Amino acid sequence: MNGQIEPMIGRYVHVDIGGEMHRIYFEESGAGIPLVCLHTAGSDGRQWRHLLADAEFTKNFRIIAFDMPWHGKSNPPASWNGDEYQLTTARYTQTIRAFCKAVRLDRPVVMGCSIGGRIVLNLAIDHAAEFRALIGLEAADFQQSWYDTTWLNRPDVHGGEVCAALVSGLIAPQSPRVSRDETLWAYKQGGPGVFKGDLYFYRVDGDLRGKIERIDTGVCPLYLLTGEYDFSCTPEDTRRTAASIPGARVTVMEELGHFPMSENPEQFRRYIAPVLAGILEAQVLPKRVASA
């Protein structure tokens, strides 16, 4: 509709990450339980725009999507001198916790996809008490590599084109063309070496095998949802991961790939709605019991 304004509002917050101030862009919509959404490697918070605009979810959730430093509208920090960007497990964890603290969120739910799904597992391992629930999309403790990341950033190959072409195969063939193109557009727009630098965490530094057994879902519920067409983090990778975490709830999403929230928002909604309803119910029930 001509003139329609979407409900999300975008702002910048200054966040102290490791002693340096970062200007972080975030969008938010709704009120209630804080729900922080983490984008995939090499992309940005726009992947969550359909969730942010969902009138049903935003009745009960304050949905927030922020761009990681180097991504989207969050610039690299002032101290960056052009050195190779490499995301580490420690840095990623520190960034999420610092953002939640800066925005003064009270025990948010965190939902992350791909590298965001992996780091959610690390939050569950080391910081579970800080969160009401954790949701990992396309998440596993480890997965087998399927290409050499040096192709992602070299002067004789267009970075945007090769990043988008590589991940295009991770989108389910049923996903609408317009959503597929929009998902890939973010990859075509990423900064040089940023996708590759994110994958340093995914491939090298963030191997969580042998650590996930420490996750206690009694402290913080953990939901894992993976698309059947994701051949990077396969449903088998997620199931294998969940097998080591008592209480982890696994859903395999049909007709979805590695980018469920952006490649086919309508199909993703069918799977995430019951998860959010369950989290909401768990928050409401104890209050009812207490007031009875």
Partner 1 sequence: MGNPEKIVADEMIRTFSALPAWLEATPALISRGRFLDCDCRLGPIEQPFFVSIRGGRIVEFTAAPVLMRSWRFSYRATPSAWTEYWKPMPTPGWHDLLALTKRGEAVLEGDLHPFMAHLQYFKDLLALPRCHQSKVAA
Residues at the interface with partner 1 (CB under 8 A): 144, 146-147, 151, 156-158, 161-162, 164-166, 168-170, 172-174, 228-229, 231, 234
Cα gap 85→193, rounded to integer Å: 7
**If you compute the radius of gyration of the chain from its CA atoms, what whole number of angstroms results?**
18
Closer of 11 and 158 to partner 1 (Cβ): 158
Cα gap 203→205, rounded to integer Å: 6
Cβ partners under 8 Å of residue 65, min gap 6: 26, 27, 28, 36, 37, 39, 45, 46, 47, 48, 49, 51, 52
Cβ partners under 8 Å of residue 189, min gap 6: 160
Whether 222 and 75 have beta carbons less than 8 Å apart is answered as: no
Closer of 170 and 215 to partner 1 (Cβ): 170
Closer of 94 and 145 to partner 1 (Cβ): 145
Least distance CB 173 / partner 1 (angstroms): 6
Least distance CB 16 / partner 1 (angstroms): 40
Nearest by Cα to 279 from 35, 23, 46: 35
Closer of 170 and 220 to partner 1 (Cβ): 170
Least distance CB 177 / partner 1 (angstroms): 13
Least distance CB 152 / partner 1 (angstroms): 10
Q: Strand pairing of 9-17 and 20-29?
A: antiparallel
DSSP letters along 93-117, please?
Answer: HHHHHHHHHHTT-SS-EEEEETHHH
For residue 229, the 8-state DSSP code is: T
Closer of 174 and 189 to partner 1 (Cβ): 174
Least distance CB 151 / partner 1 (angstroms): 5
Closer of 15 and 184 to partner 1 (Cβ): 184
Least distance CB 146 / partner 1 (angstroms): 4
Residue 66, H or E segment: strand 61-66
